[in-house]
Amino acid sequence: MKNVFKKNPVALAAVTVLATLALAPAAHAAKPAGTYVTGDFHNHTTCSDGAISMQKLVKKSTDKTDTPWGLDWFVQAGHGGTGNRNCTLAEDDSLATPAYPLVYAADGSTVIGPNTTWQNSQPPVEPQGTPSGTRPNQNMWRWQAIQQYQYPITEYLNALKNVPIFVGMESVVSGHEHTSMSVITGQVPAAIDTRALPTTKGYTPLGNANALSQWAYCFDRGNDGDLTRGGPNGWTCNVPGSANEASPNWNAGAAKLMGSGEAGHIKTVEGIKWMAAYHPDGSYYVPAHLERAGPFNPNGNNGFNVEHLRNFNNAGPRIAVGFESQPGHGASDNRGEYSPNRNSIGGVRVDSVGGTTYGGTGVYAAQIGGVWDALLGEGRNWWFFGSSDWHNRGQFGPDDRRSTQDFYPGEYQRDFIMVRKGNDTKLRPQTIVDGIRSGNSFVATGQLIDRLAFVACASYAGPASRTNAAVEAMAVKAALANTDTDVAGCATMGEKLQVRAGAEIVVSIVVRDPAGTNYAPYTFANPSLAQVGIQQPLNRPVLDHVDVVRGLVSGYRQPGSAGYAGQWPNDWLINPNMANVPDAAKNTTAAVLRTFNESSWKPVAGNAEYKVMSFRIPAVTASQYLRLRGSNLPASVPYETDANGNPLADVYTNAGDTTRLTIPCQVAGVNVPGNGGTYTGTAIDGCPNHLPTVAGQKYVAYDVAAWADLWFYSNPIFVEVAGSTVVAGVK
């Protein structure tokens, strides 16, 4: 029998080739080397309704000394619409630069700061376009602010600080609420690398944000009031292949579509088509806190149903690439600013979709088998993102470490995006946008994890077999280097693995649960975990477990067909029953496939911060996807997680309704500063004084609730099985 295996060299070579083809039926193109970098693309300054200047937010978000959470890249993205404050003015000497020095009033000593209106500036700045408001406090349309003021200072700060910064926008969406987006064409040209920066006041940019400014005029609902074609720009908003001019909602004088509700949604889809036609590589469009404003309102401007997300992705599959279902405002009295009865639609009070957040994430992504899984179950490139949505610190000043409203970009939430610089020495807006659209990314709160390698590889009997150890070794190497894998027959987040029917899939996950402290200012024990006897400081969280979620892929649903459109139930908070969710908004095949914890993962030799997990999926016959989530909370933490480890409704830690507050905060401490001053340290050792008190008892809410309840979410890996459903939307 031994002679059976003695093939001649030609035959043996043929077997080897066939095995290689089985592992990688499509040709393997090497990926440029990449690195995961952290950033934020949804935040606010005095350009819209934020509390601080452009200079101060850039410093707070990117500085790695005074603010150790400094990000690797940053997109400044205030609201669309209008604003009346001159956000190029700085607060104090620490922010002054040669090109943008402090500006003083006539007395020579009073600083004219970023709350000064445009027309009260020295010299006055005049808004263009259709007048909005009354002098001397007239509003400036966002297109003008971006084009003439925000972009120049952004380019200057990019060059001065050598940090990749560019301009985006939180669009006020026609027919809906808000979207984080940008058109980067023209922004931050490489020529600024060698440009000598000015030593006196004034900066003339080498690049421009004209494309983003035009989009704001044409498609941002907040700019509908300007009918001047962008003043001196003379813009028209034609979309190739669309008969917009024939629409009854076309304003010929303004050369753009108008409308809300259904008409507004059509306008928004046209805006994505415009990006796809003119800036296909330089645009992204990511609906923000999309559950917050409730369901879609066909006669107004509220939320997003699943069909609208499908429409966006159909119009621009490389532009509308995901959602911020993990909103900012994580320290507010209603986490994420989601709440019951938040909105009025047709005179009826309506909840934010889901009624609240769940572990800080909206129901569309937090609910296994919900909207996100429905979209992934079609095989769409639809990725998960988080954002800070920074505005202010609530009852505290912007330099306080405590918050009753927002966290700074990078302080609590951060997007880890794979970027590939190639031979360039710098991160550019294009590499960041390419990373956003790639889906090779994950989101973590509270520094729960800061490295992730997630790999799936095909294994076949014979020469093409793979062991768990071999795939683990790949994943460990990638995690240690903060990069991904590039091996034929393997895939990572945002990619699909093409296999023959019957293949085994070997999955390896490596996370780093960083030792030491995170950026919380609180050293006392987590009150949520104290309920189950775990004493763990809020500023030293420990990863409790990692869930692997799997769902099957059944293919794209077509507009107008059954199962394409459907609204999430309005009564979800009081009746969270998946049977009531329409078919369009769910994927009943999605479920937790595996859970790993300290009893089933293992540390990397010599570096116990890194946890390694592996498993095999035998004999696959159907196309599917895998995604990850993890938390510092085990299953069955009262009012935080259910018996299966799913996040519970955050209403129990929302100070917006003190009747629901449930988790006591009982540590007195000796370093608990009063609310009146500014606390800049990191050593508050007892329940802070801003927590809500009911009958003499402090309860978990605001920033303490956020630091207590941490999660990470990865984007998926798809597996396309030959003969099964084609994963059409993912490479």
**CA distance to 129, 151, 213, 592, per residue, from 232 (Å):** 8, 18, 13, 56
H or E stretch at 703: helix 702-708
The DSSP-derived string for 183-225 is: E-TTSS-GGGGGPPPPSSS----SS--HHHHHHHHHHBGGGTT
Q: Distance from first CA to last CA of the chain, Å, rounded?
A: 44
Question: What is the radius of gyration, based on Cα positions, of the chain?
Answer: 26
| Residue at 637 is within a domain | yes
Q: Is residue 686 pLDDT above 70, yes or no?
A: yes
What pLDDT does residue 272 have? 98
- For the segment 298-311, the average pLDDT, to the nearest whole number, is 98
Query: What is the CB-side half-sphere exposure of residue 192 using CA atoms within 13 A?
Result: 28
- Is residue 666 a part of any domain in this protein? yes
pLDDT in tens, 312-366: 999 999 999 999 999 999 999 999 999 999 999 999 999 999 999 999 999 999 9
pLDDT band of residue 19 (cuts 50, 70, 90) is very low
At 7, the amino acid letter reads K
**% residues pLDDT > 70 (the chain):** 96
- The two tokens of residue 225 are 């009031």
3-state secondary structure of 265: helix
Rounded-to-integer distance, Cα 537 and Cα 385, Å: 27
* Helix, strand, or coil (residue 431): helix
Cα separation, 268 vs 289, whole angstroms = 17
Residue pair 141/223 in contact by the 8 Å Cβ criterion: yes
Residue 108: is its pLDDT beyond 60? Answer: yes
pLDDT value, residue 23? 39
Q: Would you state the pLDDT for residue 27? A: 58
Bond into 136 cis (ω within 30): yes
Give dist(CA 348, CA 351) in Å, integer: 10
Please report the pLDDT score of residue 8 as a whole number.
36
Residue 311 lies in a domain: no
Q: What is the pLDDT of residue 1?
A: 32
Tell whether 628 is covered by a domain.
Answer: yes
pLDDT(7) > 80: no
Please tell me the distance from the alpha carbon of residue 374 to that of residue 557, in angstroms, as a whole number.
Answer: 10
Q: Decide: residue 577, CB within 10 A, 0-12 exposed, 13-18 middle, 19+ buried.
A: exposed
The answer to whether 80 touches 171, Cβ cutoff 8 Å, is yes
Q: Is the pLDDT of residue 409 over 80?
A: yes
- Map tokens 């989530």 to a residue: 629
Q: Comparing C-alpha atoms, which of 29, 34, 77 is closest to residue 432?
A: 34
For residue 493, tell me if it sits in a domain: no
pLDDT at position 9 is: 35
Strands 717-721 and 496-499: parallel
In angstroms, the CA 501 to CA 355 distance is: 42
One-letter amino acid at 660 equals R
725 φ, ψ (degrees, to nearest 5) = -65, 135
2, pLDDT greater than 90: no
**Is 714 inside any structural domain?**
yes
Q: Do residues 89 and 45 lie in contact, with contact meaning Cβ atoms separated by under 8 Å? A: no
Question: How many residues are there in the chain?
Answer: 731
Q: What is the mean pLDDT of residues 649-662?
A: 97
Query: Looking at the domain assignment, is residue 179 inside a domain?
Result: no
Position 28 scores a pLDDT of: 73
**Counted domains in the chain:** 1
Q: Residue holding tokens 């509270």?
A: 446
List the domain range (segments joined by +) for residue 602.
506-569+581-720
**210-219 helix and 261-278 helix, angle to the nearest 10 degrees:** 160
Asked if residue 557 has pLDDT above 80, the reply is yes
How many CA atoms, within 13 angstroms, populate the side-chain half-sphere of residue 249? Answer: 19
- Does 232 score more than 60 pLDDT? yes
Q: What is the structure's pLDDT at 12?
A: 33
What percent of the chain lies above the pLDDT cut of 90? 94
Give pLDDT tens digits for 542-552.
999 999 999 99
Q: What is the pLDDT of residue 699?
A: 98
Q: Is the pLDDT of residue 604 over 90?
A: yes
Residue 388 pLDDT grade (very low, low, confident, very high; cuts 50, 70, 90): very high
Whether the pLDDT of residue 5 is over 50: the answer is no
Query: Is 675 domain-assigned?
Result: yes
Decide if 611 contacts 510 (C-beta within 8 A).
yes
Strand 591-597 vs strand 496-499: parallel, antiparallel, or unpaired?
unpaired
Q: What are phi and psi of 575, to 5 degrees?
A: -145, 70
